[in-house]
Amino acid sequence: MNTEKKTASVLTLGCKVNQYESEAIAEKLEENGFTVVPFGEACEVAVINTCTVTSEGGRKARQMIRRTAKEFPSCRILVTGCDAQLEPEKLLALPGVVYVCGTRNKMTVVAEALRAVNGDTGKKNGVVPAEGDFEEMKIARFDRTRAYVKIQDGCNAHCTYCIIPHVRGDIVSRKREDVIGEIRALAASGCPEVVLTGIETSAYEYGLSGLMEEIEGIDGIRRVRLGSLDPSFMKPAFTDAIASLSKTAHHFHLSLQSGSDRILAKMKRKYNRTMALNNMEYLRSVMPDVMFSTDVMTGFPGETEEDFLDTVDFAKRARFLHIHVFTYSRRPGTPADKMTDQVPEDIKIERSHRLIEVGNGIRNEIYREVIEKGEPLEVLIETVKNGIASGHTGNFIECVFPVPDCENLRGTFVNVQPVGIDGETLRCEVR
């Protein structure tokens, strides 16, 4: 084996935390002599970072494992992530898989990749309990124009539909000095925007607003975003602390799940609709241009048409810029899986389609108001292709606009004038 030409690929399934962890794995593989190629190309080692938040996530992981083994029979497959934590033996039994580890020792895949390319093709279950300290990892580069920075892992909420606390374990947080050190390095490499992310970002134990205040002083970082937040966390004290920071992006993704008090109680969420709406309205009072996005589940056990209409009403009152709509998925091992009032699949899907249409209408209404207001928008350019640039404003409005083909504007900030709606984006012109 020519160790100077070891090749590997990494596939990420699931959340932004997984994306960060996959990047850390890829960089560590390169430090150990691997050339990392795009997933789907021939390579000696393939790492698949799995998701299990829904049953579809687990199914897709197994599908990708089988496909890789079929297309590249000599490739050694290493599997990590949430689905690996949940069902290690099932994944280890699949063709081509030589190593499985879970959520608290993901970086061990690097040493096991070296073992595999050095001729040891025996199968090995490396899953450890989802407990203990925060697993240290870091990244030095970033895709596009923003970097995800993991600050926290685990969740103590134990919502009735969710398997994640079982596979991610209790809350652990990364030391503030380690987070700051990583962001300083990213800023030095030209990264203008960071997203602080975790399984439950708001559960960061060393002070989330204090961390953001410290990032405020890092030269080169222009925007700081937060990962998905529990609506109950957005209380006035936290809002006041971050609203005064110049780098705070005026967009927040709230993990709502439902707008029905009855369903929220069945889910064992920590808020009701009144609390969530009040927190959002207070944030708007101190940050008038703020935008919100959310995740909403349709068809949770026992959800009636009235409950669903409560969610529709909430969405309209909250005026979400984006709504990620998904149907409830049964997960064995969760209390919701044993509830007897399961909603038929066709009703889940029908409600999902209706809510997506509601969300599209709200977004277009917001866009029309922005156009009518006529004020310029500052956009961070993320892609340029065939003379068309795309990027986001600080409050996460996606804009598209023509630019000269000869200019490489990716990663720069420009002011644009909104002129129309182009599908899910705002059509603009450079001022």
> Tell me, what's the pLDDT at 370?
98
For position 204, what pLDDT does the model report? 97
Q: Which residues contact 64 (CB under 8 A, 6 or more apart)?
A: 11, 13, 48
What was the pLDDT predicted at 1?
42
Supply the pTM of this predicted model. 0.93
Phi, psi of 255 (to 5 degrees): -85, 85
So what's the pLDDT on residue 4?
Answer: 60
Does residue 343 contact residue 303 with C-beta atoms inside 8 Å? yes
From first to last of its 431 residues, what are the pLDDT tens digits of the chain? Answer: 444 679 999 999 999 999 999 999 999 999 999 999 999 999 999 999 999 998 888 899 999 999 999 999 999 999 999 999 999 999 999 999 999 999 999 999 999 999 999 988 899 999 999 999 999 999 998 876 899 999 999 999 999 999 999 999 999 999 999 999 999 999 999 999 999 999 999 999 999 999 999 999 999 999 999 999 999 999 999 999 999 999 999 999 999 999 999 999 999 999 999 999 999 999 999 999 999 999 999 999 999 999 999 999 999 999 999 999 999 999 999 999 999 999 999 999 999 999 999 999 999 999 999 999 999 999 999 999 999 999 999 999 999 999 987 667 889 999 999 999 999 999 999 98
Structure tokens at 236: 């006035």
